[in-house]
Chain A
């Protein structure tokens, strides 16, 4: 437990202190939301219709940041060897890393989204659903991301490759998340979409660490 806590804490500190960490995720997310009206025009009705999707696309992209750093450096500088020799199972090591990544990307985005909602003319009623959907979905995004990050450890400068691996797998999150927000905005019940979103997130939280741990363990054997 102490090992888990120390690992989690170390990753959290690294994410916060490094230049590409939490602040960058937040800024990137905000920037996409700000850029969208500039490209689509400031028409409130258009933005309102596109808002749920835009928020979720922004979330998908913003959680990509920091994934490369999640395990890549540990593999390069040999910290992975220490992980493998430590009594903590690799799956738990990954869970600690996912948690640290989520706190510095998914959670930040979730907290930021309500503040940005007016920029896309999102109706007030949809804001709680937006927050809830991001809260439910982003842990899954971090989990899938962890698996891809672990797979990408052998790739030199793997950032772009990572995006290609991750984004198609994240399609269900985009669909359920954006649909939930859209439903809430049009006065419908978003609970079905939210339940599916939570289910996808749960599956990802199981599959992600298992796949990531397998990928790291197979790095050399």
Chain B
């Protein structure tokens, strides 16, 4: 699988946030996005997820036979973990993840396994309102473990995570890459050492 971006440009509101963004990431590779606030990291990730239209340029997600993925096939090939955590105070941790599993079309039986991967098993019956910032982050990231998908798009995955959780995240990501997955992550901190980076500058 390959993710190819050629001359991407994006508009937020009525302003151009970036232009001339080029990159190509293939199976087993990661691309880490750096840049100051407002430089368009989130916008780029949302474009890659297919949630925003590109203003100019071309973006393709190609499968192993170099056939472009579109529509539902494309949506079904990626995980998008935004910087927002979709956690409601009225829903317990397990209920939240079950709902996310249903939205992804993942079997409900994998929910407990995913909770376990992210060290949330003990919190399964707790209401979302009582979670700390780090726990909320882990619950969002637990979506990654619900269903194997090739392309992971992570927006600020490290925020609020403690050392142990970061190690967990690193393990999960490295395993994903070893299995032939692709990761594009936006962050302000060192992440996935040795992988390729892309620096977005503001007002470019």
Contacts and interface: CB of A to CB of B under 8 A. Distances in A.
* A contacting B, Cβ–Cβ less than 8 Å: yes
Given A14-B90, A77-B86, A87 B99 contact: no
Given A10-B95, A13-B90, A77-B85, A3 B52 contact: no
B103 A84 contact: no
Interface string B71-97: 010011010101011111011000100
Interface string A1-39: 011011100100110011000000000000000000000
B102 A81 contact: no
Contacts of B84: 77-78
A12 B160 CA distance: 31
A108 B104 CA distance: 32
Interface residues of A, number: 25
A103 to B, nearest CB: 16
Interface residues of B, number: 28
Given A82-B103, A83-B103, A87-B72, A73 B51 contact: no
A86 interface: yes
B50 interface: yes
Contacts of B72: 87
Interface of B: 46, 49-53, 72, 75-76, 78, 80, 82, 84-88, 90-91, 95, 98-105
Interface of A: 2-3, 5-7, 10, 13-14, 17-18, 73-74, 77-79, 81-88, 220-221
